[in-house]
Chain A
């Protein structure tokens, strides 16, 4: 059975069916991301503490450029088909897919960096201070750990007092394991672990690794969704967006690899398919345009 109005517009709507279909789909997508954006606002406004500077701005900016470039190339691939230039279409579509893979590659690099970065909370204030001194020096150790905490949560003007055991020590575990927890280390019969604390605020001088007893640790968590509300919403939104990038890239790659067949069979339908795929791709870019400042900058 032939699908009706795949090329010519339907008389009552003035649109070929796939175009109306993709717009209805995008409407549902707006609701999906809209719900998540409003959840983000709700969680952020309601949070006592909200971290800043947890993601790299240069990396996020680079990915924004990559996605914008892909939006230009995908629309150029459609225009190339309209001009009857199949070769140019292939070139632009290949560039679009390369951008998509580049975006996902950078994102996976970012995710990996988060999954191997840890925060340690200690059982009591005295124990915490002992480790802060071991990490950053006897004299300025406690102050250095508190400075990292203050800068992360922008607590410059607050009068709230946080006990040392509420101040987490950020850093990396020996061997950079993924997703390690207090429980997983205890299951592995470890009594202690080597921990390299992050550099003091405003410097790049990483302290020497310290030996941390597992019995002194209240909580150990990588930067995973379970870590905090911030990472829960961060991973939910960016992973959902990443899945959209992946899905879009697969569809666009299908158009690229079947282009010769479709070009011979029905070039207008190929152009329409690419337009519909492109509309989805631009939506993915549009979501990122809002995600970038919200997640990385504000």
Chain B
């Protein structure tokens, strides 16, 4: 491969600068905007519906948020069709984010020794 040319796009040989491609993506952007608005309405509606289980409420709220975030990342941030280098950066980020959150939450049940009474938190 010549070093003067960039490597081909990971997903194939689509001309991302062509007006046809841009017009197509504009339709996608508007559709995703609609999905995000709808997702927000759904999240708020869920709050007023009152799911009896707290765990289920949190799970549903975070699931909707994750789907919305997925659309933003995939379409608005073009991650559905990006170079391998970016995916590599993101995989590393996710790895370290899980470590960061895991270490913080791991401390959840840590109590300084002097606050324990008979082995239990005072």
Report which A residues bind B (CB closer than 8 A): 8-11, 13-15, 19-20, 23-24, 27, 30-31, 34-35, 37-39, 41-42, 45-46, 57, 61, 64-65, 68-69, 71-72, 75-76, 79, 82-83, 278-279, 282-283, 285-286, 289-290, 292-294, 297-298
Interface of chain B residues 1 through 51 with chain A (CB within 8 A) = 3-7, 9, 17, 19, 22-23, 25-26, 29-30, 32-33, 36-37, 40, 43-44, 46-47
Query: How far in angstroms is the closest Cβ of chain B from A124?
Result: 25
A27 to B22, CA, bound (A): 27
Which residue of chain B lies nearest to A285 when distances are taken between CB atoms in the complex? B72
With contacts defined as CB atoms under 8 Å apart, how many contacts are there between chain A and chain B in the complex?
A: 127
Contact yes or no, B97 A68, CB < 8 A: no
A278 to B73, CA, bound (A): 12
Contact yes or no, A282 B85, CB < 8 A: no
Contact yes or no, B69 A20, CB < 8 A: no
Query: How far in angstroms is the closest Cβ of chain B from A162?
Result: 20
User: What are 11 of the A-B contact pairs (CB < 8 Å)?
Assistant: A14-B85, A42-B108, A61-B44, A69-B33, A75-B76, A79-B25, A282-B72, A282-B73, A290-B62, A290-B69, A293-B64
Contact yes or no, B22 A82, CB < 8 A: yes
Contact yes or no, A34 B97, CB < 8 A: yes
| Neighbouring A residues of B93 by C-beta, 8 Å | 27, 30-31
Q: With A42-B108, A68-B36, A82-B17 given, can you name 7 additional A-B contacts, CB distance below 8 Å? A: A11-B6, A13-B85, A23-B90, A37-B101, A41-B101, A61-B40, A71-B76
Q: Is B116 an interface residue (CB 8 A)?
A: no
Which residue of chain B lies nearest to A33 when distances are taken between CB atoms in the complex? B97
Query: How far in angstroms is the closest Cβ of chain A from B97?
Result: 5
Q: Is B122 an interface residue (CB 8 A)?
A: no
A45 to B61, CA, bound (A): 17
Q: Is B117 an interface residue (CB 8 A)?
A: no
A38 to B44, CA, bound (A): 23
Give a binary string over B88-122; 1 marks a CB under 8 Å from any A CB, 0 the rest: 01101100110011001101100000000000000
